[in-house]
Amino acid sequence: MLLPRGHNQTRGYGQRNDRGKRAPAGENDGRVAAHSGRGKGHRALSAAAESGSGQHDQARDAEHGWPRLDAGTAHPARVYDYLLGGKDNFAADRAAAEAIIEVIPSVLVTVRANRAFLRRAVRYLARDAGIRQFLDIGTGLPAAGSTHQVAQDIAPSAKVAYVDNDPVVLSHARALLKSSPAGQCAYINADLRDAGTVMREAAATLDLAQPVAVLILATMQYIPDADQPHAITARLMDAVAPGSFLTMSDVTADMDLQSMTAAAASYNALLGPAVFTPRSRAEYTRFFDGLTLIEPGLVPLPQWRPDPGTGPAPNVPMYAAMGRKPSGNLTCASHAAAATARSRAGARNPGTAMGTVITTV
């Protein structure tokens, strides 16, 4: 997926089929609208998005301490919303989405595949690995089948902390992300790059002395190399207990270098401060240094534990993987530093770090 996860409502501008043609609004392979029960504030945001006017209640932003809405610059979560036929986006978001579609018409297949990966990964974590705490970073606009819904369907007492930094996402999340009575669901206004704030706020909901599943799906691809993305994941994993998991998915240029390079150039021209950065397999493998990869390892996204009877995997330019934090004294940050040193020395293989081990749980 080229963009962070968003919601999958059936109304709005209509989505596109695999040939890049717009499908009628509501024709979206049976996905469920996630808009029932919205309040006055939500309707005001939707109206602003429909008009593209960028009008927003800045006083409310100040009251909640939310970031100021910038309707004139595309935001990945709202671009994704448009790709799925949603209405919570602005003219700048729609222009950025169209730029991607122009180069990669099959982008809708990609966003659907990533959404399906989210469900498979959370099911595995809750059912097979026994995880009861989830930290979902870069959640995007709320959707049917969100992390807390999948996890609490298996374990009603599961706790989920969502993290994002877009005011439209914040507004919807607080209204729609409702936990089961036995569990807990919280929303954190923070930037992925500020790992300290993310973990400090998460500790209000999650017990960091117990295993946590950290999910960063289609989000690290917006963190450029200059911001040290591998060090960010290392800091996050160092803050959680042994037995915790890191789950990631991101776009790669390995499978279609020409199209992905063109898409990245067009998208980045409209994206604002975020920088869309597709990475290679070797670069993605480094995110799991110090972790034990869960079978089948780092693979093209549709190949990660596909549901039985799903048929041939679609061609999706994304990698996905899950790693488990083992017991031991060496931190993930130490592994990340060692991997960086190897990379600078020209090594083409990350070596025998624990991130190359594949196991089952």
In a domain, 316, yes or no: yes
Asked if the structure places residue 104 within a domain, the reply is no
Which region, left, alpha or beta, applies to residue 30 given φ > 0 means left and ψ of -120 to 50 means alpha? left
* 25 lies in some domain: no
Domain count, the chain: 1
The CA distance from 287 to 335, in Å, is: 10
Least confident stretch, 36-40, 59-63, 82-86, 175-179:
36-40
Residue 225's domain spans which residues? 116-253+274-359
Q: What CATH code is carried by the domain that includes residue 288?
A: 3.40.50.150
| pLDDT higher at 34 or 242 | 242
Query: Measuring CA to CA, which residue among 139, 319, 111, 141 is closest to residue 214?
Result: 139
> Picking from 7-11, 240-244, 330-334, which range would have the lowest pLDDT averaged per residue?
7-11
Question: At what angle are helices 332-344 and 229-238 packed, to 10 degrees?
Answer: 160
Query: What gap in Å lies between CA 69 and CA 32, rounded to an integer?
Result: 27
pLDDT tens-place string over residues 212-225: 999 999 999 999 99
Least confident range from 193-207, 211-225, 302-316: namely 302-316
In this structure, is residue 65 part of a structural domain?
no
Check pLDDT > 90 for residue 228. yes
The per-residue pLDDT for range 84-138, each reduced to its tens digit, is 777 777 888 888 888 878 877 777 788 889 989 999 999 999 999 999 999 999 8
Instruction: Lowest mean pLDDT of 104-118, 156-170, 253-267, 332-346, name the range.
Output: 332-346
Domain contains 309: yes
Q: Is residue 334 part of a domain?
A: yes
Domain membership flag for residue 139 = yes
Name the most confidently modeled range: 80-84, 101-105, 281-285, 324-328: 281-285
Kindly report the pTM of this predicted structure.
0.73
CA distances 243 to 38, 175, 292, Å, are: 38, 32, 10
Give a yes or no: residue 90 inside a domain: no
Q: Are strands 318-324 and 292-294 parallel, antiparallel or unpaired?
A: antiparallel
Q: How far apart are CA 128 and CA 97, in angstroms?
A: 37
Distance of alpha carbon 107 from alpha carbon 19, whole angstroms: 10
pLDDT grade, residue 27 (50/70/90)? very low
